[in-house]
Structure 1
Amino acid sequence: MLLYTRLAAPKQPKRRSRGGMSYHKEKKKKCDERRPKCSRCTEHSVECAYEAVKPRQRRRRESAPSTAPRSPTGLHSISRRLSEVSYFSHDTDYFGGVLPYFHNGVPILSPTDSTFDGFSLPPLSPTAVSDSYVEDVSPEDGQATTSVAVVSRSRSLHPDLAMIAPCPVGSPLLDFCLPKFSEFSDQQNRRALVDHFCNVLSHLIVFREETGNPFQQLVLPLTRGNSPVTYAIFALASAHLEYRGVENAETSIYFHNMAIRGVSQLIEHGSQVSRNEILAAIMLLVYYECLVQKGHSNIVAGHLKGALTIMASNPDPADPTSIFLERAFRFYDVITALSNGTTPLSATPTPGCLLPLSPLGVPSASPLGNVDTLLGMSTTLWPIIHRLAGLRALKNDLETAIRTNATPSKIAVLRTEVESTAQAIESALLQWQPQLPPGFSPDDIDCSNPTDAETHPPANNSDCAEGSPSPSASTPSPDQARIASIHHNALAYRHASLVYLYRTVLGQPRTSPAVQNHAHLARAHCVATVGHKGPMSALLWPLFVSACEAVTSEDRRLAERAFVEVDKRQGMRNIDRAWGIVREVWRRGDQAEMDGAEGEVERGVVAVGTRGEGEGGEEIWRRVCREMGVSIVFG
C-alpha cells in the first residue's frame, strides 16, 4: 500500500536588515535604507551614516541524517497512520458524509490511488508535517516489498494516545495476507485439506443444511492443536483426494495413524477429556474406513463398538453435538449390520422416538422440518430397518438349530419368531410412506416402462406402486429438486428393504414377482434421486441391493447409470467396489442360469460353498466379496 503525503511549503522567515543606519540600530528603530538619506533621519534632521555590511556568521549545527531511522517492522508507524484515519472517520465529518468500509474499526484503503474507496485522505496543513519518511515493509508469504509513507499526527488535532501506545487494531494489509484456514495449521497442504473437508466433503454426507452444515457447526469446533479430530479430518479429506488422483504432501495413512494414536491417549485420560471429542474422532475414522477399506476387515464394527460403549456411559445427551454424533453412529450401526449380515450393536429405537435432526438455527416452520440431517425422510422408517437388520442373525440361529438336530421345541420357537417378525416387518414396510413437506407435490414414475425414470427424469413422485398417472415433465426449482431427491431416496430404502426381506431372510428366488417388482421400484427411485441432482449420501445400499437383482438389459442399464452418477457425485472408493461386485454377481447369476443351477433358484442364496458350520447359505454377493477378499460398508 502506498500512502503519499504532500510536503508543506517552507514558511517565509522574518528577515532583519543588516545594512541599516547605525543610529537606528542603537535606537532599535526600523530603517527604510533610502539613499543618500533615509526618511527617519530626514525627519529628525540627523546625519545619516551607513556602516559597511559584515558577512553573516552562521551557527554550526549537526547535520541531519540523510535517511530517517527505520523501524524493525513498520507496524508502529502503520498503526500511527491508521489511528489518524480512524480519528477523521469517527470523531469528525471530515469525509463529507461518505462512510468508508471498515475492517475492525479501520477503513480499508486502496493501494493504488490517492482516493480510498470513494473518499480522500484529509489534507495536512504546513504546520502539521513534523516528520515524514518512507518505510519498507516486507510481508510474508513471498509477497513483493511495499513502500509505505508514514506521516505523524497533526499537532493541530487533539492529543492522540496512539503516539504513546499504538492502536491495537492491526493493519488491513496484514489481515489480507493471512491464508484461509490458518487457525488450523501453518502448513499449506493441511490448510488445503481443511478447505476440502469444509467446501466439498461436508456437503456430500448430509441431507439438510439450510442454515449451515452440521459437520462445520458441531465437529470443527472440537479441533484444537494436535487433537485427534483434527488428524481425522486431515485423513478423511486426504483419502478422498487420493481416490480422485490428487496427491498430498502427507499421506492419508499418516494422518489416520496419528488420529488413532490420539484417540487412544484420550481414552486413557478417562473423564478428564471431552466425550464429544472422542466420539467425533471415531465418527470421522468410520467415514475414513468406509472410504478407503480395501481388504476384508471388521475395523468399522470395532470403531462402532467402542463408540457405543462410550455413549452408554451417558445415555441421555443434551447438547446438539452429542445428539448429532449419536444419530450418525446409529445410522452406521444399522448400515454395517446390513453390510456384514450381523446384528446391530445398538438397541432398536421405539417407533416415534427418532425426531428429525435439524441444523443449528433452523426455524420451526422450515419446509424441511421432517427431513433429518443424516437420515433424510427415512427417520420413521429407520426403526423398521433396524429390526430388519437383526432378522438375518435370527434366521441363522434357526438354520443352525435345524442343522445340528436341536430339540423340536427350540426349533419351533425359533421358526415362530422368525416368521412372526418377518411378517410384522413386511406389513410395516408396505404401509410406510414418507411425510412430505407442506406444498410439495411428488412426481410419478411410470412403472410399466423400465426406462421412464431415465428418459423422463421426474419433476416432482409418489410411489408408483400405487399406479399414479405420470404427469408431463417439467423443470423443478432447485429447492423442489432437492426435496424430490430426498423423497426418492427414502422410497428407494423402503423397496430395497423389502427386497432384502424376501431374498435374504425368506429365501425367495430372484425370479419371484415380489422380488423383481420391488427391485425394479428401488432402482427407479435411485435413478430419480440422481436425476434430481440432490443428496446422494446414503444411496449406496438400496442401489446395491436392487442392482444385484437386475435381470434384463434395461434394468441393468438403469443400475449402471445410477452407479456412474453416484460415483461422479460422491467420489468414494466403496461405490466403485460395490459396482464391481454387482457386475460379478450378474456374470455368475447368468452363468448359473445357463448351467441350470437349482440352489440359487430354490433358496435365493448360494447353497454351496458356505462360510462355515452353522452359518447357513449366503447370498451370491457375499460369496463374491469373500472370494475377492473385500468387505464393503454401504454408507
Structure 2
Amino acid sequence: MPFSRTRTGCFTCREDGYKCDEQKPFCGRCTRLSKTCKGYGVRLKWQTPQSTPKSKASKSKRQQRNRSNDKTITAPLAPLAPLTPLTPTTPSMPFSESQSPIIKLDPSCIVPNDVSPINRYLLNHWSTTLSTMVSMVSAPKNPFLIHLTPMISHSTALRSVLCSIAASHLAILRHEDSLQTLATRYRLVGVSSLRRTIQTDNPELSLATILMLQVSDRLFTMDSGVDHLSGAKAIINQGDLVVRNSSSASFLLSLCSYHDILASVSRGKSPVFEFDGKFPMEGMESMNELTSVLQLVGQISRMRDQENDDLDARGREIEEILNALDKSDDAIGDVGHTVQAYKHAAFIYLYRVWHNQGAPHPRALKHAKSCLDHLSIVPVTSSLVSAQVWPLWTAGCESIDSDQRKFVRDRVEAMYEARHLPSLRRIEQDIEEVWKIKDEQRNLIGVDNVDCIKVILRNRQREADLT
C-alpha cells in the first residue's frame, strides 16, 4: 500500500528513501540493518551574516552548492560541519584536505564515519590528550575513555561538548582566538541538542553530557551561571541510575559525587547528593580509600547547616573517623600519598568549619605541612595530580612558611606547564589573594580567622576552581 511521505522519520531512512517506524531513540530499520540512526528533528546549521541569501536566485544557488557538498557541510551528525577548513572564518588547521588521511583517532575513540575532518581532529585531541588530564587513572584503564567513547557515536550533544572542550584547550596551546570561538559554537550546539533529546535519550547519555559541561566550566569558563549539578540530580532521579548495575552508571555517579562534594566546599554549602561512598571515585575499586576521605569532606560541608550542639558532636565524630583511617603517615605509591594528602586537607577543612580555626594555630600548620609533603612526593606527571588541586589549595592557603609557599607556587606553575588548563592559573591567583589578606590580618591582630573560600566568593564573585 503506498504511503504518504512525511518529514518526521529519522534522517537515515529519509535519505535512503524508506519508510521509518520512528521508534526512539533509534528506529527499528536502522537497528535491524546495523545502520547508524541519524536521529530526528531539525538539522542545525551555522550560518554567517555574509552567507544570508539576498534573493531567490542566490538561495537556489546556495542550495545546489550545499547538496553537492552534502557529506562535508551538512552531515547531520556533525552540526558544525559548515565550519570546515574550507571556510575563511575557520582557524588554520595543521593539515589540508589532501592530507586528511593522516588524521587518525586513537583506536579507542569511535566516531561515525561521516563526521568532518575538524570534528575528528578535535575528538582525537580529547581522546589522546585531554582525557588523560581529567582522569586519575592512566590508559588503558582511563574510565573517561572506557565509558564515554562508546557514547560518542550515539549522542550529538556529548560529541559536541567534547569537541568544545578540545577546541578550548587547543586555543590555549596554539594561541588562536578563532579556536575559542569555535569552542563556543560547539558548546551551543551541544546544549541545544541536549535540550531536544534529554527526554528521549538514554539517561546515561544525558548525564554524561551534563557532567562534561560541568568539567568544561571548571576547567575553562569559570562560572557559566548554570547549575549543572542540579540538572544532573534531575536526570539521576528520573532515570533511576542509582539502582542500575552497570559500570558506566557507577562511573557517572562517582564523577557527579566528586564534583558535587568539591563544589560544596567552594560554595560553602551542603552537597546536592548523598551517595555515602557507594560509588568509588571514577568507578574504580582501587580508589576506595580516597572515596572514603572525600565522603567525609562532604559530611564536613553539611556541618555548615548544623546548630552548635550538633555541630560539636558531628565534628568530634568526623575527627575520630579521620584519625582511624590511618594512624601513620606511611604511604605507598601515588595513590597512597594522594590519600594522605586528602586526609590532612580534610583535617584542615574540618577545623575551619568546626572552630573557624586556621594558621597560625599549630594544628593547621601541622596538617598543612604534612599535606604538602605528601603532594611533593607525587611527580607532576602522575595522573593522580588531576585530583590534587583541592588538597594543594587547602594546605597552600594555610601555609605561612616561605619555603612551603614557594613549593605551592612552583607546584601550581608546573601543573599548568604540564596541562595548560586555565583553572590552574585562577587557582594560582586565588591563593596569592588569600595569602595577602591572611597576612594582613595576622599582622594586624595576631590571629587568622579568614575563611579562604569566603574570600574568593566575596572578592572574585565566583567559586574557587577546586577540581
What's the counterpart of residue 597 of structure 1? 445
Residue of 199, 212, 217 corresponding to 1:284: 212
2:286 partner letter: V
The structural deviation recorded for 1:329 is 0.4
The structural deviation recorded for 1:273 is 1.8
Partner deviation per Cα, 1:272-311 (whole Å, 9 max, x = no partner): 321111011111101100012345x652xx1111111211
**8 Å CA contact 1:530, 1:562 repeated in 2:** no
What's the counterpart of residue 463 of structure 1? 329
2:265 partner letter: L
Which sections of structure 2, spanning at least 5 residues, go unmatched? Answer: 1-71, 73-99, 106-110
Inter-CA distance 525–579: structure 2 relative to 1 (3 Å threshold): same
Q: Following the alignment from structure 1 to structure 2, what is the Cα–Cα distance between the partners of residues 571 and 486?
A: 23
Q: Following the alignment from structure 2 to structure 1, what is the Cα–Cα distance between the partners of residues 310 and 413?
A: 40
Structure 2 residue 259 is matched with structure 1 residue 328: no
2:326 partner letter: Q
The structural deviation recorded for 1:393 is 3.2
Inter-CA distance 184–390: structure 2 relative to 1 (3 Å threshold): farther
Structure 2 residue 447 is matched with structure 1 residue 627: no
What's the counterpart of residue 237 of structure 1? 166
**8 Å CA contact 1:184, 1:191 repeated in 2:** no
Q: Following the alignment from structure 1 to structure 2, what is the Cα–Cα distance between the partners of residues 214 and 347?
A: 22
Structure 2 residue 258 is matched with structure 1 residue 371: no
Structure showing greater radius of gyration is: 1
Partner deviation per Cα, 1:422-459 (whole Å, 9 max, x = no partner): 1111111122139xxxxxxxxxxxxxxxxxxxxxxxxx
Structure 2 residue 173 is matched with structure 1 residue 307: no
The structural deviation recorded for 1:177 is 4.2
What's the counterpart of residue 107 of structure 1? none
- Alignment of structure 1 residues 9-28 onto 2, 5 Å: none
The structural deviation recorded for 1:342 is 0.8
Partner deviation per Cα, 1:214-269 (whole Å, 9 max, x = no partner): 222211221237710110111111122223344365521111111111111112xx
Q: Following the alignment from structure 1 to structure 2, what is the Cα–Cα distance between the partners of residues 225 and 178?
A: 25
The two structures, once aligned, show a CA RMSD in angstroms of: 2.8
SS in 2 for 1:420: helix
**8 Å CA contact 1:530, 1:566 repeated in 2:** no
**8 Å CA contact 2:138, 2:383 repeated in 1:** no
- The alignment covers a number of residue pairs equal to 361
What's the counterpart of residue 381 of structure 1? 293
Inter-CA distance 356–574: structure 2 relative to 1 (3 Å threshold): closer
Residue of 252, 274, 278 corresponding to 2:202: 274
Structure 2 residue 398 is matched with structure 1 residue 549: yes
Q: Following the alignment from structure 1 to structure 2, what is the Cα–Cα distance between the partners of residues 194 and 285?
A: 16
Partner deviation per Cα, 1:492-526 (whole Å, 9 max, x = no partner): 11100101111233112421111110011111112
**8 Å CA contact 2:132, 2:383 repeated in 1:** no
**8 Å CA contact 2:456, 2:463 repeated in 1:** no
Residue of 265, 271, 295 corresponding to 1:344: 271
**Bigger helix fraction:** 2
Residue of 132, 145, 154 corresponding to 1:203: 132
Inter-CA distance 356–326: structure 2 relative to 1 (3 Å threshold): closer
The structural deviation recorded for 1:354 is 4.1
What's the counterpart of residue 260 of structure 1? 191
Inter-CA distance 262–548: structure 2 relative to 1 (3 Å threshold): same
Q: Following the alignment from structure 1 to structure 2, what is the Cα–Cα distance between the partners of residues 533 and 311?
A: 32
1:291 partner letter: L
Inter-CA distance 245–415: structure 2 relative to 1 (3 Å threshold): same
The structural deviation recorded for 1:532 is 7.0
What's the counterpart of residue 149 of structure 2? 220
SS in 1 for 2:387: coil
Q: Following the alignment from structure 2 to structure 1, what is the Cα–Cα distance between the partners of residues 189 and 170?
A: 18
**8 Å CA contact 1:198, 1:216 repeated in 2:** yes
Partner deviation per Cα, 1:176-235 (whole Å, 9 max, x = no partner): 947424736543322221111100111122223464432222112212377101101111
Q: Following the alignment from structure 1 to structure 2, what is the Cα–Cα distance between the partners of residues 549 and 278?
A: 39
What's the counterpart of residue 24 of structure 2? none
Which sections of structure 1, spanning at least 5 residues, go unmatched? Answer: 1-140, 142-175, 360-369, 395-413, 435-461, 469-482, 606-618
Q: Following the alignment from structure 1 to structure 2, what is the Cα–Cα distance between the partners of residues 317 and 274?
A: 12
SS in 2 for 1:244: helix
2:193 partner letter: G
SS in 1 for 2:112: coil
Q: Following the alignment from structure 2 to structure 1, what is the Cα–Cα distance between the partners of residues 458 and 329?
A: 35
What's the counterpart of residue 90 of structure 1? none
Q: Following the alignment from structure 2 to structure 1, what is the Cα–Cα distance between the partners of residues 253 and 326?
A: 25
